[in-house]
A and B are shown apart, each in its own frame.
Chain A
Amino acid sequence: MQNIALIRLQMNHLVTQARQDIHSLSVMDDSSDNSQTLQRLWDTVSSMHFLSEMLANQAMMAGYYFSTVPAPALPAQPGTAAQPGVPPVTPLPNQTLPPPGDLTLTLQELENYDGKNGRPAYVAVGGVVYDVTNNRAWAAATHFGLVAGKDYTAEFASCHAGQEAILATLPIVGRLA
């Protein structure tokens, strides 16, 4: 429920967090590890900025905008009509519900998930199909010269050797047939 009361609660939480950080910065003797605190402060302020924008929008649109819970929608299937009027809303990465992961795609089918025209962007590594639609390293569904919709098992092995942890952070959508 994202009503004004909830936003206020979040805002208060952020203010508390920021005050705490400012306090710890002011008493910290060793300046070497304040970058982490500064980073958190930055993120806190960014979130507060976002919430205030949201409040302003809400005030202007008289509650229309956020009257419904933004469903953490699964990636739309190719060709399905867009939900009219509502801007595309994607959830925070760590709030993503694990998708069913039971999709089975052929390499040819995988090519449809190229991130174009609002379609999701999928890539396959080691037979598993991952969703990189909103992965930050995949802007415009491209990643260091690679395009989405393909099997990158070999590329992953050569560029991210020993970094299998990266895969663990990606939502799984299914397997290659």
Chain B
Amino acid sequence: MKKAVLPPDSLTNEAIAARLTNAADENLKKGLINKRNLVYLELNGCSGNIISLLNGQNPSFEYTLNSLVDLRYSNSLMAAEGEQASEKLMAVLDEDFILAVEGAVALKNNGLYNVIGSLDGQPLTGLQAATTLGERASHILAVGACATHGGVSAAKPNPSESVSLQQVLTDREIIKLPGCPVNPDWFLGTLAHLLLYGEPETDNLGRPLMFYSTLIHDRCPRRPFFDRGIFAEKLGDKTCLFKLGCRGPVTRTDCPTRQWNGHVNWPIGDDTPCIGCSQFGFPDAMAPFISFDTTRVVKDE
């Protein structure tokens, strides 16, 4: 046990910062949060959600790793490789764990279109991993569009026959966090809620209400332009992007207020339409993303 700061302890900024961090660590050990096991499976997708999670700030990914969960498996981050990695994954089955899955489940050829490792010399498919772990997990989070409903991995003509996690785990309750990618706050906030207070309140489609309750359109700073019928004709315009195909009116997230990457910007702030990446049905039902042919063609514009 370290003692309180007394001279001649160093008084440099670094030393003080280190002492504060140590104190915080010790407080955590005293039990504000009991760390739980997290298994993070990447399946048929682009691994963009784990990259988005590294972008997390509230809480940060470092805090999540050090103070919220024991990350037992992550293809992108774990030091182990090969069958030893797969064995670590299987070892979790006997313990309590939360399962987070990004990417869709590829069904074609019995799952062989997405092999995530090997076990006893046999390929371990995403399908096998999803069902085996999904049956035992205490809570399941579907992270990102591919996991929640197939997403881009299941886009027409769906060559890998990808489906959502729910379609292979029909009996399990799954918290769904759509988005392409998920906003790190949506994931880390849901995870924190799970650890502190249990499962968050969700809508009838399994989305946590604290992040997915309100239509983008209803909080859009450009809403007055819509109400008055003042529409952008091209990207870069500062008015309502509805005529270019904005899916804000059918997409429920807190993007207008939360924004992205440490609250610096969001697609509509970038003068582009929302493409509904957090709406079920993305991408096919949200296409075309950008249309220029709805507004009048005016000569000499």
Q: Footprint of B on A, CB under 8 Å? A: 39, 42, 46-47, 49-50, 53, 82, 87-92, 115-118, 134, 136-137, 139-142, 144-145
Question: Residues of B contacting A49 with CB < 8 Å?
Answer: 224
- With A and B bound together, what is the CA distance between A47 and B225 in angstroms? 10
Per the 8 Å Cβ criterion, residues 283-301 of B in contact with A are 284-288, 291, 293-298
Who on chain B is nearest to A90 by CB? Answer: B229
Cα distance, A137 to B216, chains bound together (Å):
12
Q: Please encode chain B, from 55 to 76, with 1 for each CB lying within 8 Å of some chain A CB and 0 for all others.
A: 0000000000000000000000
Contact B296 A139 (CB under 8 A): no
CA distance A90 to B295 in the complex (A): 13
A136 in contact with B226 (CB, 8 Å): yes
Q: Report whether B273 and A139 are in contact in the complex, using a CB–CB cutoff of 8 Å.
A: yes
- Is B168 on the interface with A (CB-CB < 8 A)? no
What is the CB-to-nearest-CB distance from B239 to chain A, in angstroms, rounded to a whole number?
9
B153 CB to nearest A CB, Å: 18
Which of B18-26, B120-128, B245-253 contacts its partner?
Answer: B245-253
Query: CB-defined interface of B84-116 with A at 8 Å, one 1/0 digit per residue?
Result: 000000000000000000000000000000000
Q: Contact at B229–A134, with CB atoms within 8 Å?
A: yes
Closest A residue, CB atoms, query B227: A92
Which chain A positions have C-beta within 8 A of B224? 46-47, 49-50, 53
Q: Which residues of B contact A117 (CB under 8 A)?
A: 293-297
Of the candidates B214, B221, B225, B291, the one whose C-beta lies within 8 Å of that of A142 is B291
Distance A139 CA – B246 CA, assembled complex (angstroms) = 6
B243 at interface, CB cutoff 8 A? yes
Is B242 located at the chain interface by the 8 A CB criterion?
A: yes
CA distance A49 to B229 in the complex (A): 15
